Structure 1
Amino acid sequence: MCGITGAAWTDPQLAVSAEALRRMTDCISHRGPDDAGYLHRELENRNPYPAVPGVALGHRRLSIIDLAGGKQPLANEDETVWTIFNGEIFNFAALRGRLEGAGHTFRTHSDTETIVHLYEDEGPDCFRHFNGMFAIAIWDLRERRLVLGRDRLGQKPLYYYHHAGRIVFGSELKTLLALPDVPREIDPTAIDEYLTYQYVPHPNTILKGIKKLAPGELAVFSDAGLHVERYWKPDFTHEDRRPAALQDAELRELFDDAVRLRMQADVPLGAFLSGGVDSSLVVSSMQRQSDRPVKTFSIGFPQKEYDETSFARQVAEHLGTEHHEFQVTPSALEILPKLIWHYDEPMADSSAIPTWYVSQQTRAEVTVALSGDGGDELFAGYRRYRAVGLGAMIDRLGPLKRVLGAKLWQQLPSSGRQKSRMRQAKRFAEAIAMAPERRYLDWVSIFNETRRGQLYTDAFVAQLSDSDPFDFLKSAWRRCGKRDAITCASLADLTTYLPCDLNCKVDIASMAHGLECRQPFLDYRLVEFAAALPIGRKYQRGRGKQILRKVFGDRLPAQIWDRPKMGFGVPLDYWFRHELKELLIDSLLSEKALSRGLFREETVRQLLDEHMAGQFDHSARLWALLVLELWQREWIDA
């Protein structure tokens, strides 16, 4: 696990100096505190042959495998292929055996060296053979090109800025901004997307011209320009109709093998343990494959509704792990400036706060931690899928759908509290007349289309493009073809919410502390298997993860399977009325914020007034606005 950055250029006026490369690399020293490495070569004119582009590669290393070797940038034998990469290739041992059989000679025991040798044989097609989490840059001297690739599920980030005869890239946006000629102009459309999803969807970023390589994509830069293509195209329309016994056996084998591969390390290794089904299953598989107690880590909070440590403790005792439990009192005032700096883009998932704390505490004991991320998307575990299923049932009853969608429902009185049953029923009824995918966006968005219209000033609306934030979710939803609504929703989450929110949150919070986080559920073999399962194997009678319970039911206590699902959150609602009240009001209603011309003052005041009076829980919306304002002060105003 590391951090990478660099550039390639065909125009000598756009060269990146060795000094600038070091500045770019220093920006992400937290990602790799163990070592640094560089490759810098100026553009070479070879008349009458085409010029060889200039290249700069910078690497910060967090040593996990082959501690003594594996220094990057790493080259093949004749130094015509160089690579730097962030992440892990979990099937590197199998690939190495194949490559040695083909005549390649290895000088290290690292997974990095498999990249250069497989690239020699396969070119950019090499990415299709990697089972891992990665952001990779490959410099090909013979072909005069720079090749970039990102893993299939977007576990590792990769930003880039292509302009004229140069491309600049990095694991974090701040590495690009270390170059003074990379623009810092906010993209209004990205703000619209951010306030819809609580993140900026790929391939866009908050800044104009700067992009994120999407999961499963590769990019090739040469004197012909930049070419981006998708190398992983799973068929989400396919449904596996094999007998249940065969599916169960394959799930057991795939899951345990995914865990086994992610237990490879030459440094101390452990696991996050929340006490939920997914992290508990990961730990149970680890313990079955280990000859010593697995180190597990849980974090607790004073507020009972946010504390899962009792469940984690129960699982740890059942499995016999070496359990570490930390009690923290989260302080938003203390952690907010750190989050704003590390996350580069505004990201309004407040669970970044507990993720930060558990990563910080875990790093004190181990360098690698496995987690249960991905289980909810793959096996329909989110509670919101109940509404999706109910909506689909109503869609099949045309007259009832018209009644539920009628304006009469909107006139019913209800509490202003966001989670009151009547308000939830009214919100469901408001959305039921929509198409299923539009309805789902209305349910999961921070500011839905109506609220965004009330929030934006006329001047800001005039800056927006004709693009609709809905298109991001719609295209993901429709990749599933005519499959059921819950499958469409969960697989849309897998390719949108998971990489853009959850994976980003975990990557930044863990790497800020030099901790590598591995996610067995995101082994692409397991993902492709789970995506093809019929919904009846995952979801029954309003509950998801049914196949997990059938296959792995004996691995966990019954209470863990039956416990209600809890979010990994913090008490924003309370904080905004107490600890964060002054910061919130001073930030959102400041002259600086209002002068930006983005949001209507009266709408922002209404959100604040309703929340402070306890009339409505606007905490997620207020958090999104606060993060955006503080981000602008850190990265734009400075």
Structure 2
Amino acid sequence: MFAGAVSDGETVFAFRDHIGYRSLVYRRDAAGFYAAAEAKQVVAGAGIPRQPDLEVVEHVFYRSADDDTPCALKGVLRLPKMTGITAGDAGTRLRRYWDPASLLETARFGPDELKDRFDALMDQAVSRSLTGRDAISLSGGIDSPAIAAYAAPRHLELAGRPLQAVSVVYPRYPSVDESRYVIPLAEQLGLPLQTYEQEANPLDDLATWTALADTPFPGATLAQYAEDYRRVRGLGMLGLLTGEHAEFVFAIRWFTLGHLLTHGRFGAARRELAQRRAQGMSLLGLARLAGRSVAPHRVMAARHAIGRRWPPTVPRWVNWHRAAQETPVPVRERWRRSQLAGFIGPGVALEAEEVCQVVCDIRTRRPWTDIDLWELFLSLPAEQKFPDLRPKGLVRDLLRGRVPDAILDRTDKTVFDEAGLARIDYPTLRRYLVGQEHRVAGIDYAALGELLRAETLTRIDYEWAKNLAGVHAFLSQW
């Protein structure tokens, strides 16, 4: 994770990392070239008014922003991830320095060779992330325990003391609490463990955080991140390792069957269908699945239009045509595009999280997204990356012997609905969303207001309302 700029006095070259963990924004006008880590810094340096770009704000809310979308402060551009920019008398020139698409399905590994390669790259990724004063945020899933298993011996070797572990617990919500996995894991790896109940609400200090981040940030809860970071910093740590974003590296198996069928890999497709049949899917269900897998976008769009199906991820008070906009992707490219999902879009939430880390004087490290490790998974053929229908099946096999079987063989998935819905801050939502002068296009504020007054939000309602509150908190500065 990096961003930087170098200059010889005449030309400036600026750049940022392949994921967008570190931000770099810029402006070029008649007076010169300005580059900084935060949009407010460019605004100040260029001497332009600090104003919101309402069109960008709506794109951010609807998650329709792309790599070319400017910042939420008007007049400031965002340098796309994995890109460098050269600025001089001749103008500016952008150049992407890494092309992950070119790596897809280019490798051929035997099982033992793949296991050895994974071990080496995982060890390297974790070692690169350690400072000697680190903690790890543990959950009961696969992603963070895998990091802990590789990091524990390396941290002890580097610092002469165990890696500190921290974990949020939910004693009042047994369906959410993962202590039964986390505590034995920490004991097995020799990690001192501090558990705590999270006190911060996702909406706490929302106006402050959106002002600091120079943008609303859908999906990020900076108040809770700040609580976590400050606890870790209070333990004397400088770095926090997490298992975040692992799903982008090895867990997105959307469109795999269609990819196999449209690329003539019928043996692998047949094996997947046989596995589904063994799980109880009917022959008619298999036929429908195969048909949907190779159907063009226009066919599926027409089917949904005829059925008038409301997207299950969009509340009734949001215009679903605006919220569920999709860019048509050719059938043969769908799987490939899904494997690149972690590189698509501006990463607004990541930029906001970076600001939060700076405020709390700590840095998070996400070893799963190490460039060399990610390149390994990009290079695997689809049938090797997803050998069966188990979620994260390949990685479960690769981690066998390092991560406890109790975690690797879990068949349940923790869903945080119970804890989240119990802590909805209705007064704050009403303050930001009822009676506001500005209106985001596509929102039925009257219908939303009724739900807020009755305090009857569903999980989907709450996620969208929370993000909409972030928009209005950001705009409340003007």
Give the TM bin, normalised by the shorter chain: 0.7 to 0.9
Gaps of 5+ in 1: 1-132, 411-425, 431-442, 456-467
The one-character-per-residue Cα deviations of 1:58-92 (angstroms, maximum 9, x if unpaired) are xxxxxxxxxxxxxxxxxxxxxxxxxxxxxxxxxxx
Size of the aligned set, in residue pairs, is: 439
Task: Say whether the 8 Å CA contact 1:202–1:500 is kept in structure 2.
Answer: no
Q: Report the secondary structure of 2:19's partner residue.
A: coil
The one-character-per-residue Cα deviations of 1:532-562 (angstroms, maximum 9, x if unpaired) are 2123333354433222211211111122123
The one-character-per-residue Cα deviations of 1:88-115 (angstroms, maximum 9, x if unpaired) are xxxxxxxxxxxxxxxxxxxxxxxxxxxx
Question: Paired residue for 1:219?
Answer: 85
**Which of the two has higher C-alpha Rg?**
1
The one-letter code matched in structure 1 to 2:167 is S
Q: TM-score, normalised by structure 1?
A: 0.61
Q: Report the secondary structure of 1:527's partner residue.
A: helix
Q: 1:183 to 1:548 in 2, by over 3 A?
A: same
Q: 1:570 to 1:209 in 2, by over 3 A?
A: farther
Question: Paired residue for 1:607?
Answer: 448
Task: Say whether the 8 Å CA contact 1:270–1:296 is kept in structure 2.
Answer: yes
- The correspondence for 2:473, drawn from 630, 634, 637, is 630
Question: Paired residue for 1:102?
Answer: none
Task: Say whether the 8 Å CA contact 1:346–1:631 is kept in structure 2.
Answer: yes
Matches within 5 A, 1:353-392: 353-365=223-235, 366-380=237-251
Matches within 5 A, 1:164-175: 164-175=30-41
The one-letter code matched in structure 2 to 1:565 is K
Question: Paired residue for 2:2?
Answer: 134
Question: Paired residue for 2:217?
Answer: 347
- The correspondence for 2:168, drawn from 291, 295, 299, is 299
Task: Say whether the 8 Å CA contact 1:194–1:200 is kept in structure 2.
Answer: no
Question: Paired residue for 2:292?
Answer: 395
- The correspondence for 1:543, drawn from 374, 381, 390, is 390
Question: Paired residue for 2:463?
Answer: 620
Task: Say whether the 8 Å CA contact 1:149–1:219 is kept in structure 2.
Answer: yes
The one-letter code matched in structure 1 to 2:427 is E
The one-letter code matched in structure 1 to 2:73 is L
Structure 1 position 490, deviation (Å): 3.7
Structure 1 position 614, deviation (Å): 3.2
Residue identity over aligned pairs, in percent, reads: 19
The one-letter code matched in structure 2 to 1:262 is S
- The correspondence for 2:303, drawn from 402, 405, 412, is 405
Q: Report the secondary structure of 1:274's partner residue.
A: coil
- Which region of structure 1 is more displaced relative to structure 2, 307-316 or 545-554? 307-316
Q: 1:153 to 1:232 in 2, by over 3 A?
A: same
Is 1:500 the equivalent of 2:398? no
- The correspondence for 2:145, drawn from 256, 267, 280, is 280
Following superposition, which runs of at least 4 residues in structure 1 exceed 4 angstroms of deviation?
A: 198-203, 384-392, 396-399, 401-404, 406-410, 443-450, 468-471, 567-572
- The correspondence for 1:192, drawn from 45, 58, 65, is 58
Gaps of 5+ in 2: 260-285
Question: Aligned partners of 1:527 and 1:361: how far apart in 2?
Answer: 30
The one-character-per-residue Cα deviations of 1:35-74 (angstroms, maximum 9, x if unpaired) are xxxxxxxxxxxxxxxxxxxxxxxxxxxxxxxxxxxxxxxx
Structure 1 position 174, deviation (Å): 2.6
Task: Say whether the 8 Å CA contact 1:293–1:320 is kept in structure 2.
Answer: yes
Q: 1:210 to 1:604 in 2, by over 3 A?
A: same
Of Structure 1 and Structure 2, which has the larger fraction of its residues in strand? 1
Q: Report the secondary structure of 2:244's partner residue.
A: coil
Task: Say whether the 8 Å CA contact 1:260–1:286 is kept in structure 2.
Answer: yes
Q: 1:374 to 1:334 in 2, by over 3 A?
A: closer
Q: 1:360 to 1:341 in 2, by over 3 A?
A: farther
Task: Say whether the 8 Å CA contact 1:191–1:200 is kept in structure 2.
Answer: no
Is 1:586 the equivalent of 2:427? no
Question: Paired residue for 1:261?
Answer: 128
Question: Paired residue for 1:518?
Answer: 365
Task: Say whether the 8 Å CA contact 1:159–1:172 is kept in structure 2.
Answer: yes
- The correspondence for 2:356, drawn from 509, 534, 546, is 509
Question: Aligned partners of 1:567 and 1:176: how far apart in 2?
Answer: 40
Does 1 or 2 have the higher relative contact order (CA < 8 Å, sep 6+)?
Answer: 2
